Amino acid sequence: MKHRRHSFQQSLQQWLRREIGLWRIGALPGLLIILIVVIARFTGNLQSFETNLLDLFLRLRPSEPIDPRILIVGIDEQDIQTIGTYPIPDGTLAGLLRTLQRHDPAVIGLDLFRDLPVEPGHAAWVETLKQTPSLIGIQKVLADAGNRPIAPPRGLSPQQVGFADAIPDEDGNVRRSLLGLTDRQGVYQFSFTSRLAEKYLATRGITLENGLRDPVAMRFDRTELTRFTPNAGGYVHADANGNQILINFRRGRNPFRIVSLTDVMADNVPDDWIRDRIVLVGVTALSAKDMIPSNALKGRNPSVVYGVEIQAHAVSQIVSAVLDHRPLLNVWADTWEYFWIIGWGLLGISLGRMLRSPFKVLLLLGMTTLLLLASSFALLMGGWWVPVAPALLVLVLNGAGLTASLFYQHEQDLKAKLHDRQLMIDQAFDAIHNGPLQTLARTLRNLQAENRTTDPIYAELKQLNQELRSVYESMRREALSQDSSLQVSSDLELNLENPLHESLYEVFSHTLSRDFPHFKQLRLTLPTFEAIDDRRLSLEQKRGICRFLEEALCNAGKYAQGMTRLEVVCKQAGDRNIIRVTDNGSSDLQHQDKWAIATGGRGTEQAKVLARQLSGRFQRFPNTPQGMICELSWPIRRSWFKPLHFSANPTE
């Protein structure tokens, strides 16, 4: 027992050492790919790939129910037509506010820049503002792309003003929401979004506080709004000024209720759509050009949504997170992200290590890719945006091509080394053969010439001659036992670089000298081995053909009862190559099935696979008057689209 454990440990150690050796060589390019992808990500080259995948994943999520807390009053094309002027006059807006106020909403967000009076009705407008404490207006604080800051509507207290600035990504899409920032005067300003959320949540008794983990972050109750950092998720050196969070857009065809200004004025809106709700007033007319591209949402006009809708999503996600525990979009720390990427990369490399058959690698790669996508998607559903794109890259690149081929190549190298060793043994023998054996032969001949064959020394020299020759035989066998895949049967090694018909004859000659019951009565063999066109055959295919012949002969030897005559043909007939073994053994019907039974069908199966590889045909049928014919034939010109590689590794 102890001994066995010891040897198990030893073999485990050997296996480990071999594996590490293989990995050192085979995995190097794979590790390089991981490194390149990591660097590419680190330098921001994968950002758009990652953010686009995020959009795709966000779009693919199942629909969420409508958010009843929010009502959008969209001033649409028809409203503008009805009113007949744009911007909407102050008087009309004042009327809208008063109508809304009658239903007592929790908070009204006016997503319209009203820094200048728009007559008629400005006086009434100023008056209405004073009487509407639940109103939040907007301003623009950042000076960007030639746009100057825009002041809030006059008459609102500072607490009733939030800025509406947005920071789009490089591709123009808005994926983040600003909560607050310090303006050029050094004053900390709250955004429209955070003002609305704060005001609404205040009606529920929840106040805005500083974060616990991050004092700069905002917090409502137990929901901390984790600040966006320049390298968060797939972003690299993003503009993370102020206090921003990622937007977890609400999925669904109609995430919010939208009514028109006319609807409200005509009292067509149910009371409970407004009462205690967040009412956002904005423009939903294409002509007003308050639109923002967002690939994360399927808009009417693909990927373009109105500004007020983005505001709705931003407010909704905060309120839903606090009250419903709907997940916000979070990212992992960079370290974990890179662990995740490298992990998938290593998995890709090990696919190439574990499997050699390209189809199996592809299948498993497909399954692993699916697993990556599924787990990433599930994580996103839980609010975690993980690096899908780089993980996908390293997994597919490593799994698919390079690694598998390199492991394969390395194995070929090992085979070549074995071959070299065989060569060395051959050379050693040649040295013995050229030196001592020649001298011996001469000496023996001289002794014969001198008629001294009765001399004991003659017998001893003859013995020595035999012994030296047997040394070679044993060396040869020793070398062959190291790697069975290089040989056909236990002690015949073929040099498959030789013409195929020569190798086949060697197989024939060798197999017939083996100890099979029905070779004993064999009285006549009729071999025809002619040169065949083997230029298009790979070594692996040649080996397969040699094995086929061996198998066919062995089966005749094992099952062809009473066989006295065996005909073996290897020749080119027309445009086909033919290998045929014909015996005249017992015509016992079961004889033909014995091969299949004895090999568990494997022999036949291998022959069929081989035939397929060669675009040829494998047949076994009864001989007349008795016996079996076993034939493999294939066309000399093969169609190009058949796989050239013979991946099955037939074993003895």
Residues forming contacts to other proteins in the complex (CB under 8 A) are: 426-427, 430-431, 433-434, 437-438, 440-442, 444-445, 448-449, 465, 469, 495, 498, 501-503, 505-506, 509-510, 512-513, 522-531, 567
Measured in degrees and rounded to the nearest 5, phi and psi for residue 530 equal -110, 155
Q: Which residue, 238 or 578, has its beta carbon nearer to other proteins?
A: 578
Minimum separation from the CB atom of position 417 to other proteins (A)? 19
Strand partners for 570: 529, 579
Q: 414-449 as b/e, with b when 16 or more CB fall inside 10 Å?
A: eeeebeeebeebeeebeebeeeebeeeeeebeebee
Q: Which residue, 28 or 416, has its beta carbon nearer to other proteins?
A: 416
Minimum separation from the CB atom of position 463 to other proteins (A)? 13
d(CA 360, CA 51): 32
Please enumerate in sequence order all residues whose Cβ is within 8 A of that of 416, keeping only pairs 6 or more positions apart, or say none: none
Q: Which residue, 411 or 455, has its beta carbon nearer to other proteins?
A: 455
d(CA 543, CA 614): 13
DSSP annotation of 288 reads G
d(CA 401, CA 14): 28
Going by their DSSP bridges, the two strands 576-583 and 304-306 should be labelled as unpaired
Q: Which residue, 449 or 589, has its beta carbon nearer to other proteins?
A: 449
Q: Which residue, 151 or 569, has its beta carbon nearer to other proteins?
A: 569
Minimum separation from the CB atom of position 415 to other proteins (A)? 19
Minimum separation from the CB atom of position 499 to other proteins (A)? 8
Q: Which residue, 237 or 469, has its beta carbon nearer to other proteins?
A: 469
Going by their DSSP bridges, the two strands 565-573 and 524-529 should be labelled as parallel
Question: How many other C-beta atoms lie within 10 A of the C-beta of residue 282?
Answer: 25
Judge contact between 290 and 94, C-beta under 8 A.
no
Judge contact between 94 and 128, C-beta under 8 A.
yes
Q: Which residue, 185 or 474, has its beta carbon nearer to other proteins?
A: 474
Minimum separation from the CB atom of position 399 to other proteins (A)? 42
d(CA 70, CA 274): 8
Q: Which residue, 274 or 579, has its beta carbon nearer to other proteins?
A: 579
Q: Which residue, 325 or 442, has its beta carbon nearer to other proteins?
A: 442
Q: Which residue, 329 or 496, has its beta carbon nearer to other proteins?
A: 496
d(CA 304, CA 296): 10
DSSP annotation of 318 reads H
Minimum separation from the CB atom of position 513 to other proteins (A)? 6
Rounded (5°) CA angle 309-311-312: 60
Minimum separation from the CB atom of position 543 to other proteins (A)? 15
Judge contact between 73 and 279, C-beta under 8 A.
yes
Minimum separation from the CB atom of position 603 to other proteins (A)? 22
**Paired tokens of 430:** 């040649």
Name the burial class of residue 379, with classes exposed (0-12), middle (13-18) and buried (19+) by CB atoms within 10 angstroms of its CB.
middle
d(CA 133, CA 107): 9
Judge contact between 156 and 181, C-beta under 8 A.
no
Minimum separation from the CB atom of position 25 to other proteins (A)? 31
Minimum separation from the CB atom of position 515 to other proteins (A)? 13
Single out the residue of 164, 96, 94, 92 nearest to residue 312, CA to CA: 164
Minimum separation from the CB atom of position 33 to other proteins (A)? 43
Q: Which residue, 453 or 615, has its beta carbon nearer to other proteins?
A: 453
